[in-house]
Amino acid sequence: MFSLSSIELGARFVGFAAAELARLRSPLRVEDSERLGRELFSGHLKGKRLKVNAFLINEKSESGLSLDRLSLAPRRLFSAVGRAAAARRSVKFKGFATLDCAKLRSVEMDDGIRLDAVGDPTLENAFHADVALLPDKGDDYYLLVATELNSISQPDLE
């Protein structure tokens, strides 16, 4: 069942998508000026400092790192989605690790690939985005990505 926050995010996305399409732009393109957020849960912080594990992928990640497009809808909606995700996982929602998309795109990996975000709407969160990561690169590669993202992000706690 969908929460009211998910429904409101969906409705806002329809309006956003219509406006973007009217400007002949894809609503899936994440602009450099957008503020992005990674949901933080229990274990992602040491005191008020971010831990690298906040940006690690897991077997469910399908080679992508989930983010929220925080600058496109009220924060309360993203927080509600985060609290619902925390309840499903039996952890506590702590807030977001935030970064600008331009900073994300400035990260170049050892293989010459630059990190990027692309809109990837879900039924639960229409303003969901992914940082695409190459599959089967190995734990060292994903740890390096997590370390880079940790260095350009700031905690924005509830």
Determine the Cα–Cα distance for residues 132 and 129; give it in Å rounded to an integer.
Answer: 9
DSSP one-letter code for 53: G
* Per-residue confidence (pLDDT) for residue 1, from 0 to 100: 58
Average pLDDT over residues 119-139: 89
Determine the Cα–Cα distance for residues 133 and 137; give it in Å rounded to an integer.
Answer: 9
Bridge-based pairing state of the strands 93-100 and 128-132: unpaired
* Per-residue confidence (pLDDT) for residue 23, from 0 to 100: 83
pTM of the predicted model as reported, rounded to 2 decimal places: 0.88
Determine the Cα–Cα distance for residues 65 and 104; give it in Å rounded to an integer.
Answer: 12
Chain centroid to CA 71: how far?
Answer: 12
Which residues on adjacent β-strands are paired with residue 41? 93
* Per-residue confidence (pLDDT) for residue 92, from 0 to 100: 96
Tokens of 72: 């496109």
The full set of domain ranges for the chain reads 4-27+35-157
Percent of the chain with pLDDT over 70: 96
3-state helix, strand, coil in the chain (%, to 5): 35, 25, 35
**Whether 39 contacts 85, CB under 8 Å:** yes
pLDDT digits (tens, 9 = 90+) for 55-82: 998 766 666 899 999 999 999 999 999 9
Average pLDDT over residues 105-113: 91
Average pLDDT over residues 82-102: 95
pLDDT digits (tens, 9 = 90+) for 14-41: 989 888 888 888 899 999 999 999 999 9
